[in-house]
């Protein structure tokens, strides 16, 4: 076996290597199908929105309706650009190994991106939202709230379009995180006397940033090692040679490559598609709070369970407070101050306990979330979000110290808060899925060429493509399970580079330098761009 492996490693590259024909167009039938799917998406979005608004017993005037339409257009535009910006991550390997014709690969990837979005959990969506300044989330329907959403989305779209134009596989996740940090910094500099750190949850940003920064390292090392192991396990020389002419690979190799392409497409949809969902929910909460501030579809069992947990958690917090005395007055300023400073004061626990009781009292009076008066819906949602954020930060500080049973009950209470405020309607998932899926079918050639031709000095082999795709698929799926955004682009492009290095195929260092520069510059560029846009939009609205 070792001898066979050595022969596989030393196998010569095919003398005749033809590039795939990327100029193939969809044709009139494809264009009709594309426009038909776009029309279905628009119609379903409008129907879902109208049903939710009518079900909440409210109606939209012309001005809010136009603002909502513009906001959704920008948010879905981000997902559309994300689609064609990141398509190369899934299809470059199957195209350059001639496993699938270019247009078939792109459509196939689009379908599985669509499916991935539909079955996503939503954890990544709200992980992204939690990075935003708390005061802007609580006031998302204000002028500053809309300036925030518009700024970060437009900044992310502009940077993605710019890197796409130059054929650079930059990370959409990296871009969006940078845009969010830029808005947080700008908001704090404008309103907190220059103390910028309280405008961004740096601990949460560091957690997300770590997953993004580790992506290229994981991709390069893991894909390179996988290729080396593969050579010793599957010692078939054909697997490590470049394709001969335009002939597709043997059926079993082709099956592996198509399977990994499918997996990356699905994982990309389930992870990247959620980023737009969270922002769309902020938009809906800001413009139509009566329909979207609270999840009115929770089961009947929700209220008694929530009330029981509220009693236990409220008592536990009060017992740990100084003097174990009930808080006198409005608890919200004290809780908000704790979130802003990240330092608990003498009244923090008592105020938090009182807020737990007030929320429980409101829900007990109405009997269900669906029956909370429309005038109180936004306030209840804000109180729940404020409380959940305060308890998350208390847990992180490790104070007060609770016994194991109380910690579990607090965890159950926080989950109940999330069930009431962190939900995604089906039509939002469908709209994002269609935007991302259709986006994969447009403008994909630029970055496909970079990944397929400009990273290594030799043509991509079957084994290299399968190794890079398998690592990308596994990494993204794992990140999705833990609710972390991860860069599909970084994992895949660095994975291709890792396999080229492991195979001794050589690297085109000019491309590697450009990719590294895009990786390094994306975060500061997005921070600067979104922060500047937020300042401009805020000043325009203020005047």
DSSP states along 17-41:
B----TT---HHHHHHHHHHHHHHH
pLDDT of residue 15: 42
Query: Over the stretch 177-198, which tens digit does the pLDDT of each residue have?
Result: 888 888 888 887 876 554 444 5
Question: Does the pLDDT at position 373 exceed 70?
Answer: yes
pLDDT of residue 197: 44
pLDDT of residue 430: 92
Average pLDDT over residues 251-272: 85
For residue 19 the two structure tokens come to 């590039």
Question: Does the pLDDT at position 203 exceed 70?
Answer: no
Residue 358: pLDDT band (50, 70, 90) is very high
Q: Which pTM value belongs to this model?
A: 0.82
pLDDT of residue 484: 67
pLDDT of residue 9: 39
DSSP 8-state assignment for residue 370: G
pLDDT of residue 85: 76
Residue 354: pLDDT band (50, 70, 90) is very high
pLDDT of residue 529: 94
* CB hemisphere CA count around 393 (13 angstroms): 24
pLDDT of residue 196: 41
Average pLDDT over residues 69-84: 88
pLDDT of residue 38: 87
pLDDT of residue 252: 82
Average pLDDT over residues 216-232: 87
* 307 class by beta-carbon count within 10 Å (0-12 exposed, 13-18 middle, 19+ buried): middle
Q: For residue 529, what are the contacts with CB-CB under 8 A and spacing of at least 6?
A: 155, 158, 159, 179, 182
Query: Over the stretch 477-520, which tens digit does the pLDDT of each residue have?
Result: 777 676 666 677 778 888 888 889 888 888 888 888 887 887 78
Average pLDDT over residues 392-410: 88
Cβ count near 246 (within 10 Å): 13
Average pLDDT over residues 387-409: 88
Question: Does the pLDDT at position 356 exceed 90?
Answer: yes
pLDDT of residue 10: 39
Query: Over the stretch 54-68, which tens digit does the pLDDT of each residue have?
Result: 877 777 777 888 888
Most confident range (mean pLDDT) of 107-116, 213-222, 500-509 is 107-116
pLDDT of residue 24: 67
Question: Does the pLDDT at position 246 exceed 80?
Answer: no
Question: Does the pLDDT at position 454 exceed 60?
Answer: yes
Residue 199: pLDDT band (50, 70, 90) is low
pLDDT of residue 408: 92
Residue 331: pLDDT band (50, 70, 90) is very high
Cα dist from 121 to 254, 278, 291, 337, whole Å:
31, 12, 21, 32
pLDDT of residue 473: 82
Residue 123: pLDDT band (50, 70, 90) is confident
pLDDT of residue 415: 92
Q: For residue 321, what are the contacts with CB-CB under 8 A and spacing of at least 6?
A: 347, 348, 349, 350, 353
Percent of the chain whose pLDDT exceeds 90: 17
Percent of the chain whose pLDDT exceeds 70: 90
Q: What is the full DSSP assignment across 389-427?
A: HHHHHHHHHT-S---HHHHHHHHHHHHHHHHHH----HH
pLDDT of residue 262: 92
Q: What is the full DSSP assignment across 444-495?
A: -HHHHHHHHHSSBSSPPPHHHHHHHHHHHHHHHHHHHHTT----HHHHHHHH
Per-chain mean pLDDT for the chain? 82
Question: Does the pLDDT at position 34 exceed 90?
Answer: no
Alpha helices by DSSP H, 87-171:
88-96, 102-118, 123-129, 134-138, 143-165
Question: Does the pLDDT at position 77 exceed 70?
Answer: yes
* 289 class by beta-carbon count within 10 Å (0-12 exposed, 13-18 middle, 19+ buried): buried
């Amino acid at each position: 076996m070792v001898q066979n492996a050595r022969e596989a490693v030393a196998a010569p590259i095919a003398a005749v290597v033809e590039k795939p024909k990327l100029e193939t167009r969809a044709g009139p039938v494809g264009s009709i199908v594309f426009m038909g799917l776009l029309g279905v998406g628009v119609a379903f979005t409008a129907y879902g929105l109208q049903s939710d608004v009518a079900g909440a017993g409210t109606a939209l005037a012309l001005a809010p309706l136009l603002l909502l339409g513009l906001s959704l257009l920008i948010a879905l535009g981000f997902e559309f650009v994300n689609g064609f910006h990141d398509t190369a991550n899934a299809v470059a390997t199957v195209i350059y190994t001639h496993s699938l014709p270019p247009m078939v690969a792109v459509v196939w990837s689009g379908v599985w991106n669509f499916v991935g979005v539909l079955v996503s959990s939503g954890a990544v969506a709200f992980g992204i939202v939690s990075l935003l300044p708390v005061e802007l989330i609580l006031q998302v329907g204000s002028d500053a709230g809309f300036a925030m959403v518009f700024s970060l989305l437009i900044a992310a779209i502009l940077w993605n379009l710019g890197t796409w134009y130059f054929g650079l596989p930059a990370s959409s996740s990296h871009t969006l995180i940078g845009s969010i940090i830029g808005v947080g910094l700008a908001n704090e500099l404008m309103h907190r006397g220059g103390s910028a750190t309280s405008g961004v949850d740096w601990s949460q940003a560091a957690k997300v940033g770590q997953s993004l920064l580790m992506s290229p390292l994981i991709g390069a090392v893991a894909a390179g090692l996988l290729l080396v192991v593969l050579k010793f396990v599957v010692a078939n020389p054909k697997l490590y040679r470049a394709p001969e002419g335009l002939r597709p690979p043997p059926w079993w190799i082709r099956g592996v490559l198509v399977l990994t392409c499918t997996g990356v497409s699905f994982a990309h949809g389930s992870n990247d598609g959620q980023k737009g969902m969270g922002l769309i929910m902020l938009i809906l909460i800001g413009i139509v709070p009566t329909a979207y501030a609270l999840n009115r579809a929770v089961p009947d069992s929700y209220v008694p369970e929530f009330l029981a947990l509220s009693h236990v958690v409220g008592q536990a917090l009060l017992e740990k407070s100084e003097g174990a005395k009930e808080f006198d007055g409005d608890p919200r300023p004290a809780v908000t101050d704790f979130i802003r400073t990240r330092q608990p004061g003498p009244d923090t626990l008592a105020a938090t306990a009182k807020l737990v009781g007030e929320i429980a009292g409101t829900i007990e009076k109405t009997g269900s979330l669906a029956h909370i008066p429309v005038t109180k819906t936004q306030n209840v949602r804000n109180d729940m979000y404020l409380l959940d954020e305060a308890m998350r930060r208390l847990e992180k500080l490790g104070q007060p110290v609770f016994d194991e049973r109380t910690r579990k009950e607090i965890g159950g209470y926080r989950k109940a808060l999330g069930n009431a405020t962190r939900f995604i309607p089906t039509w939002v998932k469908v709209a994002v899925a269609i935007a991302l899926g259709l986006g994969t079918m447009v403008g994909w050639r630029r970055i496909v060429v970079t990944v397929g031709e400009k990273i290594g000095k030799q043509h991509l082999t079957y084994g290299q493509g399968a190794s890079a795709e398998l690592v990308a698929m596994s990494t993204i799926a794992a990140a999705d399970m833990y609710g972390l955004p991860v860069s599909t682009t970084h994992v895949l492009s660095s994975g291709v580079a890792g396999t080229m290095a492991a195979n001794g195929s050589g690297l085109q260092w000019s491309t590697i330098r450009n990719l590294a520069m895009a990786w390094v510059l994306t975060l500061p560029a997005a921070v600067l761009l979104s922060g500047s846009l937020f300042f401009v939009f805020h000043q325009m609205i203020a005047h």
